[in-house]
Amino acid sequence: MTIDGMGGAGKSSTTGHVRHQLTSQGYAVHTTTEPSYAQLGEIARHGTDTYSGHALACLVAADRYHHLATEIRPQLAAGRIVLCDRYVASSYVLQRMDGVPIDFIEALNAAADIPDLAVILTADPEVTARRIHERGAHSRFEGGITTCRAEAELYVDTIDRLIRLNYPILAIDTTKSATEQVVGMITQRIAQLTAGPPDESLTA
Ligand X SMILES: Cc1cn([C@H]2C[C@H](O)[C@@H](COP(=O)(O)O)O2)c(=O)[nH]c1=O
Nearer to ligand ATP, 76 or 171 (CB): 171
Are the C-beta atoms of residues 59 and 91 closer than 8 Å to each other? Answer: no
DSSP 202: G
**What is the closest distance, in whole angstroms, from the C-beta atom of residue 40 to ligand ATP in the complex?**
20
Binding mask 41-70 for ligand X (x = CB under 6 A): ----x--x-------x---x----------
At 21, which amino acid appears? Q
Sign of torsion over alpha carbons 37, 40, 46, 51: negative
CB-wise, 90 or 197, nearer to ligand ATP?
90
The torsion angles phi and psi of 135, rounded to 5 degrees, stand at -85, -30
Q: Does 141 bind ligand X (CB under 6 A)?
A: yes
Q: What is the rounded CA–CA span in Å between residue 20 and residue 82? A: 13
Query: Which of 138, 163, 192, 200 touches ligand X by CB under 6 A?
Result: 138
Q: Which residues are near ligand X by CB under 6 A?
A: 7, 34-35, 45, 48, 56, 60, 86, 90-91, 94-95, 138-139, 141
